[in-house]
Structure 1
Amino acid sequence: MTELVMDEKYTSRGSSWSRQKDLRPKNHLIVALFIMCCYLSFYGWSGISQAKDGPNYFEYSDENINWKPCNNSNSLPLECSSIKVPIDQFDLEHPRNETFIIPLIRMRGINATQNLFLNPGGPGASGFDLLHRRGEQLKAIIGEGFHLVSFDPRGVNNSVPRASCYPDERTRQELSRVRSLDVLSDSPEVFAWAKNFIQACPDTMGEYAKYLNTPQTAADMNDILDALGQEDMIYWGFSYGSLLGQTYAGLFPERSKRIIIDGVIDQFDWYGGLFEAQSLVDTDMVLDGFFEECVKSGPERCPLARMAATKKELRGKVLSSMTVLQDQPISVYINKSIHGLLDYEKLWFNGVFPALHKPSMWSELAHNMYNVFQGNATDAFLAYGNQEAQKWRHEAFEFITLNDGISGPEHWPQDRQTFLDKIAPLFNLSLFSPVQSKNYYLRQQWTVSRTHSYVPRKNMKTAHPLLILSTTYDPVCPLIAAKTANEAFEGSKIVEVSGYGHCSIAVPSLCLAKYVRAFLYEGRLPHTYTQCEVDSPYFHESDKSGQSSPQRVFEDTEEAEIHLAQVLLADGWDFASAN
C-alpha cells in the first residue's frame, strides 16, 4: 500500500503541503526539476506555470491552487496539493481559527478539461491510496476526458488532524482489541470496553471531534471545486462514497451535474435509523451464490465441489464443518516463530465475509476452506489468522458513523442487558450479523454532540439526474438501497450488474463501463431500469504467474483494454478499506 505519509505531520504552505521531516536528497532541486520535466513532457505545458512557492510547485491558469509531482513507480504521473477548510462549514458567519487540511491527489487526463471526483468508501478509505494503487485501471475505464481527483476527507489518513482515539500507534495496538463476535458471551467485555473508547475519542480530538461527519465533508468538496476553478460536481463514489454523493446532492443539488453512486447505502437509515439491519439483507444470498457457482464450476476449479453435488448440500456440509471448528479450533505449527490457532471467527469473519465482497477471492477461499475441512489449516491460517491487523491507523470510521447517525443515551437504553435484549433479534438476520455488534455498543454510549442538521429528503431535483450502480447481490450495500435512492432523486436511473459482489467494480462488465462513459461524457442515462451481464466466470484458473488476465476476448482494442482494466480492478480493489 502506497501512502504519502502516515505518522509525519504536514504543514501548510499556501495551497500546498510538505513534510516537516525533509526526506529529499541534498540535490532535491535538480531531482524535482527532472521529475517536473518528465511530468510535463507527458501531459504538455499548456496553461501551466511555476508557482511562487518555488521550483517544486506549479499551477494552472484556471485554478486557485498549487501542485507538486508525487508520482510513484507503479502508476501514471500524479500531482498532489492540499486546501484548508473551516472546522465548521455550516457556521461561516462566526469564523474560527481551527481548520482541517485536506490533501488532494490528481491523475490528469490528456484530453481533459474537467475534474472527476472519486471516493473509495469507508468511511475512512484513502483517496490517495486509491489513485496510487488503482488509478491506471480507473483511467482506462473512464478514458482520458477527465482529470481523476481524489482526496483524504477530514479525519482520514493524510488529513490534518487525523481522527484518533489514541495518542500513538502503540497505545492503539494495546487498547483497541476487544472481542465482540460472540454476541452473548462477549457482551460484558465489549460493553465495558466501549465505555472507555467513547471517552478516549473526544479526549484525543478535542473540539475537532464534533465536526468529523459526512455533511461537513460534502461541504469541503465545494471548497475543492472552487480551488480547481470548476463550478459543477462530477463524482463517482463507491460504498460509503455513495452516501457522500447522496449527501452532496441533497445539500447542493444545483452543483450536482454528474453524480454516480455505486454500491449504495440507504441514506435514510444511515442518518435517521437506529439499526443498519438492512445492510446485510442480501449477505447470505451472496454466500449461496458462492456455493452455487462453486458447484457449477466443478471440482477442478472449486475444490469444495468435491464435497457435494448441489448448492444446498454443499451449504449444509460447510456450515456443519464450521460448527465443528467453532467447538474445536485447529492448531497450526509452521515453525517456532509462526504458529497459532485457526478458529471459527478467523475463518468465517476474516476469510469468508471479505470474500463475499470480492468474487475474485472465491477460488482461493474455496481452496483454503477445502483444505481446512480435510485437516490441513496452514494456508487458511496464513491468510486469515492475523486478527490484530488494523484496517486503518485512525478512527475516522467510528467518528463519522457515530456523528452522522442516531447515537447516545437519548436514543438507546444504557443498561447492558436491556440493550442486549433490544439488539439480539438483529443477529438472526444473517450469518454475518455479529460484524455489526461492536458498533452498536459504541452507538449506545456515544456522547459527542451531533453538529449537523442534514435530513435526507425525497423527490430531490438535481442539476442532472443521478446514475445509480449496483450488483444484484451486494453483501453490505443491497440492491434495495439503490432502489431507495432511485426514488429519492428525480429522474435517476439504476444500472444493475447481474451478479455478486460489493459495488459494480467487483466484477468486470463492459456493458456497465459503457453506461458510465455515456453518462460522464454526454449525460445520457438509460431510458429505464437496466441490467448488465458479468463478463467472466466466478471460478477460473489463474495464469502460471498468478496474475490476473483477460477472461473474455474482445476484437475492439479499446474494449479489450477496458475489460482487462476491470479484471485488474476487481482483483486488486481493497474492499477491506473501502466499505
Structure 2
Amino acid sequence: MQGIGFGMAAALAATLVPGVSRAAEDQVRAPVPVIDWQACTNAKQFRCATVAVPLDYDNPGGAKILLDLLKVPAARPSTKIGTLFVNPGGPGGSSTGFAPMASILLGSTVRNRYDVIGIDPRGVGASTPMKCVSDAPRPPGIDYLFPMTWAQAKPAFIQAQWTRWACADQAAPIVRHMSTADTARDMDLMRQAVGEKKLNYYGISYGTQLGSTYASMFPSRVGRFVVDGVLDPIAWSTGDVVPAVQPFSTRLRSAKGAHEALMSALEDCDRVGRAKCDFAGNASGKWQRLVTLAKAGKLTAYGSPLSYADLIGGVLGFLYATRYVGLDSALQGIWEENAGSGARASASAVADLRAAGERVRKAPYATPLLRGEVVSDAFSGVACSDTRNPDSVTDWWRAGVEQDTKYPGFGSLWTWASASCSKWPIVTKSDSYFRPYGGATATPILVVGNTYDPATPIHGARKVASLFTGARLLTYDGWGHGAIGTGCVTRAFDRYYATGALPPVGAVCPMDSGLWDGDAG
C-alpha cells in the first residue's frame, strides 16, 4: 500500500476483511483537556464549555476539533454520586439540547445526584459542524419521501448520492472522522477530564449504538449504563453477510417495528371505541382504504393532495410517541374528507401529520423529544462511516420492495433512508468499530425495549442483552420509541442509578395509561 502508513493500512484492512477488528482498550490515550465551565449564555443555571480534542486519535498530538458541552449540575451536590453522559440519538441529535430534559425525565436520582453532561457529537455541534461542498449542481429536487416505482428510484438515488459526491469532493476534515467509534473516544476522553473512573451513561435510539460501541471498546470503564430503544449493533455495522447485500436501514428491520406498531394500535383503537379513539370502527379497513387512495394519487387532506409517501411518513412520526395524541383525529378527518361526506380534514391535523414526517426524515434514530435540535447532514456523516452497504440503486430498490411485501409502506421508507451510504468513501471508515460487540463489562448494563417500537424493534434490545455478560432486559409493554419518561421505567432507572440494582429477570413495565386515553372528544 504505497503512500499509506502501516497503521492506516491495518485500519483499512480491518474495515475490509471479515472478522478483523480492533481489540478492546482500557481507555483513550490522548492529552486530557481541562474543561473551563462557564454559565451558559442563554441558560445561566447550566454550565457550558468548548473543548479541543484530537481530530484523529491515531495522531492524538495532531490537528484538533472543538466539541460543545453542556452540564446540568446535580440539584443536591452534597449527595452527588457522579457524572452521567447522555445522547439522544439521530445520528445528528444535539446532546447539549437533550441534557436538560434528560436530567428531569431520568428520575430523581439522576436529577439530584448526578451532573448530567451532553456532548454534541463531532460534526453535530456548532463549533465543528459537518460540511461538504460540491462544484456539481444539486440534482433536480424530487417531491416524494421514497420511490414507489422503478422510474422514481433512479432520481431518488441520484439525489441521495449528491451528499456522498459532495463529501468525497470538498469535505471538511471532520467528515473523515465522524464514526461512532470516534465519538466514543471523545466520550472517554471527557470521562477522564471530569475525573470519573467509569462512564455512567444513558443513550436512546442511535445513542444505544454509541453505548454498545463504547461498552465494547472500553468494557473496563462501563459504569451505570442504560440503553433505551435499542439498535442491533451487528445489523447496524455489518449484518451477518459480508459483503453486505442489504442497506443497513433494511437490516435493522425498523419497518417491521413500524408496521407492527401501527397494526396493533389500530386494533387497540377498535377495542377502546370512539369514546377514546376517533378512528375506531373498522380502523384497519379504513386505513387500507386511505392507503389505496394515496397510491392511486386520489387522497386529499384539507383540500390538497396527500401523497402515499407523505401519509406513511407522517403516520410514522406519530408512532414515536408513547401515546398517539392526535393521530386518530388526523386519520378520521382525512377518512371523512375522502369518504364523500363533504367534510374536510382540519388544517392543523394535516400540518401536524406533515411535521411528524419531517422530524423522522431528519433524524430517524432519535428520541421523539427532539424538535429543532437536529443537524440533518450528520446522519449520513455518522451512519455511512459506521456501516457496510451494497453499491447500486438496484440494491436499494430490491430491498425496499422485498420489505414492503412484509411491512407495507414502511419497508421502502426505512430502506431509502440510507441511500446516501452507497459507496461512501472507505477512508472515512478507517477508525470505525465493526466488531466484536458484547462481552463482560465492569458494571452490568440495563437494556430497555418497547414491545411496539416503530424505529428500534424489541429484537434489538434482546440482542444487546444477549451480547453483554450480565446485562438485564427490562421490557416496556407498550408503544412508542424508547421508554424514557414512563413511570415504571423511571422507577427502575432511579434504583439502578442509585445503587446499580437491576430489575428482576423477565421484568415487564406496564403503560402508565391507555394508548388513546385522553385523546378523543
CA drift of 1:354 comes to 1.0
- Who is 1:428 aligned against? 405
Counterparts of 2:405 and 2:41, CA distance in 1: 48
Alignment partners' CA distance in 2, 1:388 and 1:477: 18
Of 320, 323, 330, the match for 1:357: 320
Structure 1: distance between partners of 2:490 and 2:403? 36
Q: Distance in 1 between matches of 2:143 and 2:312?
A: 18
Query: Which residue of structure 2 lines up, in the alignment, with residue 51 of structure 1?
Result: none
1:153 aligns with 2:121: yes
Specify whether residues 517 and 157 from structure 1 end up closer, same or farther in structure 2 by C-alpha distance, changes over 3 A only: same
Note if 1:316 corresponds to 2:282: no
Alpha-carbon spacing, 1:363–1:65, altered in 2? closer, same or farther (3 Å): closer
Pairwise CA distance, 1:525: 1.3
Indicate the residue corresponding to 1:486 in structure 2.
Answer: 465
What is the identity, as a one-letter code, of the residue corresponding to 1:357?
Answer: Y
Deviation of the 1:187 alpha carbon: 0.6
Cα displacement (A) at 1:454: 2.1
Which residue pairs with 2:18 in the alignment?
Answer: none
Q: Which residues in structure 2 correspond to 1:97-108 (within 5 Å)?
A: 97=63, 99-108=64-73
Cα contact 1:294–1:539 (8 A) shared by 2: yes
Q: Distance in 2 between matches of 1:446 and 1:129?
A: 29
**One-letter amino acid of the counterpart of residue 215, structure 2:** A
Q: Give the corresponding residue for 2:26.
A: none
Residue 5 of structure 2 corresponds to none
Q: What is the match of residue 422 of structure 2? A: 444
Could you tell me how far apart the structure 2 residues matched to 1:199 and 1:314 are? Answer: 44
Residue pair 1:302, 1:363 contacting (<8 A) in 2 also: no
Q: Which of the numbers 91, 96, 105 marks the counterpart of 1:128?
A: 96
Shift of 1:232: 0.9
Specify the code of the residue in structure 2 equivalent to 1:127: S
Residue by residue over 1:383-402, the C-alpha shift from the partner in whole angstroms, topping out at 9 and shown as x without a partner, is 23467787334411111111
| Secondary structure of residue in 1 paired with 2:66 | strand
CA-based RMSD: 3.0
2:277 is aligned, of 297, 302, 309, to 302
User: What letter matches 1:433 in structure 2?
Assistant: G
SS in 2 for 1:304: coil
1:279 is the counterpart of 2:258: no
Alpha-carbon distance, 1:199 to partner = 1.1
Equivalent in the alignment of 1:35: none
Offset of residue 320 of structure 1: 1.5
1:65 maps to which of 16, 35, 58? 35
AA aligned opposite 2:383: T
Paired position in structure 2 for 1:366 = 328
Report deviation, 1:210. Answer: 1.6
- Give the whole-Å Cα distance in 2 for the aligned partners of 1:419 and 1:107: 43
Whether the 8 Å CA contact 1:266–1:481 is kept in 2: the answer is: yes
Alpha carbons of structure 1 residues 216 and 182: separation in structure 2 relative to 1, 3 Å: same
1:378-424 Cα deviation digits (max 9, x unpaired): 333322346778733441111111110114xxxx354x446634653
Amino acid at match of 2:50: S
Say if 1:304 and 1:369, in contact at 8 Å, map to a contact too.
Answer: yes
Map of 2:456 onto structure 1? 477
Higher RCO, 1 vs 2 (CA within 8 Å, ≥6 residues apart): 2
So what's the TM-score if we normalise by structure 1?
0.72
- Cα distance 1:379–1:430, how it changes in 2: closer, same or farther (>3 A)? same
Paired amino acid for 1:365: L
Partner of 1:327: 296
**Superposition pairs for residues 64-83 of structure 1, below 5 Å?**
64-70=34-40, 72=42, 77-83=45-51
- Report how far residue 428 of structure 1 moved: 2.4
| Counterpart-to-counterpart distance in 2, 1:348 and 1:381 | 13
Out of 289-298 and 113-122, give the one that drifted further: 289-298
Distance 1:139 1:159, change over 3 A: farther
Task: Tell me which amino acid in the other structure corresponds to 2:327.
Answer: L
- Identify the residue that residue 404 of structure 1 maps to in structure 2: 386
CA displacement at 1:173 relative to structure 2: 12
- Residue 102 of structure 1: how far off its partner (Å): 0.8
The alpha-carbon deviation at position 253 of structure 1 amounts to 0.6
Distance 1:105 1:256, change over 3 A: same
SS of alignment partner, residue 359 of structure 1: coil
Q: TM-score, normalised by structure 2?
A: 0.80
Equivalent in the alignment of 2:224: 258
Q: What residue number does 1:184 align with?
A: 150
Q: Is the 8 A contact 1:239 1:263 kept in 2?
A: yes
Structure 2 residue matching 1:180: 3-state secondary structure: coil
> Is the partner of 2:451 in helix, strand or coil?
strand
CA spacing shift, 1:219–1:175, aligned 2, 3 Å: farther
Which entry has the higher C-alpha Rg, 1 or 2? 1
Q: Deviations over 1:91-135 (max 9, x none)?
A: 136x322x2211110111123241111111111111122135554
Taking the aligned partners of 2:45 and 2:231, their CA distance within structure 1 comes to 33
Secondary structure in 2 matching 1:249: helix
> Using the alignment, how far apart are the partners of 1:145 and 1:233 within structure 2?
15
Equivalent residue of 1:144, what SS?
helix
Deviation sequence 1:7-46 (CA, Å, 0-9, x none): xxxxxxxxxxxxxxxxxxxxxxxxxxxxxxxxxxxxxxxx
Report % sequence identity.
Answer: 25
Cα 1:87/1:79, change in 2 over 3 Å: same
Shift in CA distance, 316/166, structure 1 to aligned 2, threshold 3 Å: farther
Shift of 1:303: 1.0
Q: Tell me, what secondary structure is at the counterpart of 1:116?
A: strand
What do the CA deviations read for 1:58-81 (whole angstroms, capped 9, x no partner)? xxxxx93211111657xx821111
